[in-house]
Structure 1
Amino acid sequence: MSLLSSSIILYQFNKNSPTSDWRIVDDGVMGGRSSGDFHINESGNGVFEGVVSLANNGGFSSVRYRKTFQIQSLKNIRIHLKGDGSIYQFRVKAYSSDRHSYISEFQTSGEWETIEIKLSDMHPAYRGRKLSIANFDQDQLEEMAFLIGNKKEQEFHLEIKSIQLF
């Protein structure tokens, strides 16, 4: 008898998904000039897009979602998305009040693809600096985010269908 692996849908986008669940945080919080936007497209996917600017010591844009999920014995994240060929970061926080995030970078291909990330491979960082504390080893998530900040000026477009814990 085989055991079916369990999973938790962290977010499944559709045409009725509220964009108010997701919050843009750009480098404007530090005086930068980057500009991100988040909306649901005609296909019902979440779209994170905009422009990263290096002006005024800027250089990043992010979109964040807060909700508490118990991880249980699940150890991986699966994201179905379509990027623009750029490198993005997927970030999580065990507690939204934490100053640091746990980060995994991924390269997009320009095609629909599934990105899989081991939670235990996600390293802690704060303001772009890696911290000397353990990789993610918590039993819950309270925040997840996508961030682009590749130390260059660029337009970006990331389309997200679903995010799953498995």
Structure 2
Amino acid sequence: MPETLFLFDRPEAVAPWSAIDDRVMGGVSRSALRFDPAGHAVFSGQVAPDNNGGFASVRASVSPLAAGDIDAIELVVRGDGRRYKLNLRIDHGFDGINYQAAFAPPAGIWTRQELALADFQPTWRGRMIPDAPALRGARIEQVGLMIADRQFGGFELAIQGIWARRE
């Protein structure tokens, strides 16, 4: 049975999410996670290359997983034809190692995206960290969404929810 991490069916579901864009390094990209009255959240904004920028992200803390370790993270999303990353962090810090997995949902239709924990790569500020601690689902403390990789311009990813899965 999947464990719900976030279900975006109410306006208050987006309240714990904060934008962390390239503005922290002098860039000008902007993003937000907002509630859509149709009953889901929307991660949207503008990614700009100005001032060595080029990424937009949102993240929130997550409660410890009730049943311990997991095998995958599942999202139900409606894409815009762009590639996104799901970020997992094993601490509550602002800066540090992000475990990232990319996904590219088709534009305009709701799809289920399952990302195996084994596919998440440890990075720090966009660089691979080969000697990072192994990602274990029981240690996940923050979850985030990101768009980067020179995908400039407006973006919009609709999201119904995020779940932890066990095989």
TM, length-normalised to structure 2: 0.90
8 Å CA contact 1:62–1:145 kept in 2: the answer is yes
Give 1:24's aligned residue: 19
More displaced 10-residue stretch of structure 1: 92-101 or 45-54: 92-101
8 Å CA contact 1:123–1:135 kept in 2: the answer is no
Residue 120 of structure 1, CA deviation: 1.9
Identity in percent:
28
Structure 1, residues 136-157: CA drift from partner, whole Å, max 9, x if none? 2352211000000121422100
Structure 1, residues 118-164: CA drift from partner, whole Å, max 9, x if none? 11221100000011125523522110000001214221001110100
8 Å CA contact 1:89–1:148 kept in 2: the answer is yes
More strand as a share of residues: 1
8 Å CA contact 2:70–2:137 kept in 1: the answer is no
Query: Is 1:82 equivalent to 2:81 in the alignment?
Result: no
Report how many aligned residue pairs link the two structures: 161
Structure 2 segments unaligned to the other structure (5+ residues): none
Give 2:30's aligned residue: 35
In structure 2, what residue type is equivalent to 1:131? I
Give the superposed CA RMSD. 1.5
TM, length-normalised to structure 1: 0.90
Give 1:99's aligned residue: 96
Residue 75 of structure 1, CA deviation: 1.0
Radius of gyration: which is bigger? 1
8 Å CA contact 1:54–1:152 kept in 2: the answer is no
In structure 1, what residue type is equivalent to 2:83? I
**Distance (whole Å) between structure 1 residues aligned to residue 62 and residue 10 of structure 2:** 20
Structure 1, residues 14-50: CA drift from partner, whole Å, max 9, x if none? 1333432100111000000101122100112111101
